[in-house]
Amino acid sequence: MLAVMAIALAPHGTAHAYPVTDKRLTHNALYRAGALDQTACTEKRVRPGDFRLAKAYLYGILDCLNAAWSAHLKEAGLPFRKPALKVVRQAPRRWCGVKWGDLHSYYCDERRTILVRLDKNLLADPTDLYLFAVLSDRYGQHVQNLTGIYRAFIDHDVRNKREEQELSRRYELQSLCFGTAFLRSTWNSLDRTTRDWRLLLSYMKDWKHPTVGTSRTIAYWSNRGFAKGDPAACNTWAAPSGRVA
């Protein structure tokens, strides 16, 4: 499901030259707050094809995300505001200025809203942590918005398409890593096994895209987030280009 992770490339300003030197990206206060606190999170029951239960599942995970990230941003001395979540069967043709197309989820920074479209593919087997990962990743973009990372990202100047795509990958891979760091913080409360994590990672590796990353870099940053549970492990902006290919 490549389109789950694809984003519309944001406009870029002229505030900075490549490579990344903006301290809002490389030295954000978010990285100094340590690992996310352990958070108790209970997955609600779901079953194949049931939109109502899958929607309730997503809202339950949203509550866990709000609890974990609000505490962490407070520890980092950063502001927090809950995002809105909309779960629909059929997405609009355009939303947040973007042609929806085949997307299954999108975070609108202006509205601070996550939109998830639960089509038959996402509902086919909702028991495998995939919905958890989709929402956690989009919430990671909300964290980037709250902490100034998103603003610095769109302000960053690039000289060509290659640099534009690399900057996009740094942004996307960081939100992925934030999502798996959150998963680690809830892991002890979930009735899950190492096999569940490996299966989820295999799905996430299929999200490869020029603006997201290769299967290898997706696995690298997802594993970092899950191993450390610490947003500091997700500082893609300070990583060499080979780590965000």
* pLDDT tens track for 33-77: 999 999 999 999 999 999 999 999 999 999 999 999 999 999 999
**What pLDDT is attached to residue 13?**
38
Tell me the pLDDT tens digit for each residue of 125-152: 888 999 999 999 999 999 999 999 999 9
**Per-residue pLDDT band at 238 (split at 50, 70, 90):** very high
> According to the model, what pLDDT value does residue 103 have?
84
pLDDT at residue 118, rounded to an integer: 95
Residue that the structure tokens 């709250």 belong to: 146
- 23 contacts: CB under 8 Å, gap ≥ 6: none
List pLDDT tens digits, range 170-213. 999 999 999 999 999 999 999 999 999 999 999 999 999 999 99
Instruction: Using pLDDT thresholds of 50, 70 and 90, give the confidence band for residue 157.
Output: confident
pLDDT of residue 223: 98
The whole-model pTM stands at 0.92
Contact 171, 228 (CB under 8 A): no
Contacts of 92 (CB under 8 A, 6+ apart): 100
Which tokens go with 214?
């290769």
Q: What count of other Cβ atoms lies within 10 Å of the Cβ of residue 134?
A: 24
105-108 and 98-99 strand pairing: unpaired
Helix, strand, coil shares, percent, the chain, to 5: 55, 10, 40
**In Å, what is the CA distance from 142 to each residue of 14, 69, 191, 194, 220?**
24, 10, 27, 28, 22
First to last CA, the chain: 19
The phi-psi region of residue 109 (left if phi > 0; otherwise alpha if psi is between -120 and 50; otherwise beta) is: alpha
The more confident residue out of 10 and 61 is: 61
Instruction: Determine the pLDDT at residue 18.
Output: 65
Average pLDDT over residues 1-30: 62
